[in-house]
Structure 1
Amino acid sequence: MMQTEITYICNACGEDIVIPLDPSQGSEQQFVEDCPVCCRPHVIHIQIDPNGEATAWAEPEQDYD
């Protein structure tokens, strides 16, 4: 069965955040999303291996203005 959701841990508030997983976007994905608990923006990284196993992690978004 194909994985449809994945969890990452918000590094600001420590909550487990569940997000939808879209394998059609490629085996390496990166996007910005606000934590639904603390509202801080994070860069979410997703990697999907050849067996379909997905891993997700988050890093704080940095503003370089």
Structure 2
Amino acid sequence: MSEDVVFLCDNCGEENLLAIRQSGDSIVEFWEDCPFCSATNLVHVERDEDDNSEVWCESSFRDGLHPLATVRNPTGN
């Protein structure tokens, strides 16, 4: 079963409509690109005991967030 949720891009403020598959988890987080400004947003969906959803996000363009931002040094230096 899926649920339509709306989040505002944290970078440009545009509304984004998403269909997310409901899981048994009360908190779900995932990365989603804004189709308007291309910012990658960390989207949080939190459900309460009555199955009401609260959605908010953080932009990768602020505070250095990005799913690919972790830099690993293979030489250990």
TM-score range, shorter chain: 0.7 to 0.9
Q: Could you list the runs of 4 or more consecutive aligned residues of structure 1 that deviate by over 3 angstroms after TM superposition?
A: none
Scaled by the length of structure 1, the TM-score of the pair is: 0.83
TM superposition shift of 1:8: 0.7
Scaled by the length of structure 2, the TM-score of the pair is: 0.71
RMSD of the alignment, in Å? 1.9
Higher relative contact order structure (alpha carbons within 8 Å, sequence separation ≥ 6): 1
Residues 3, 53 of structure 1: alpha-carbon distance in 2 compared, 3 angstrom cutoff? farther
What stretches of structure 2 of length at least 5 have no aligned partner?
72-77
Larger Rg: 2
- The aligned counterpart of 1:14 is 13
Structure in which a larger fraction of residues adopt helix: 1
Pairs aligned (count):
64
- The aligned counterpart of 1:58 is 57
Residues 19, 41 of structure 1: alpha-carbon distance in 2 compared, 3 angstrom cutoff? same
Partner deviation per Cα, 1:9-55 (whole Å, 9 max, x = no partner): 00111111111132215210011111111111110100011101011
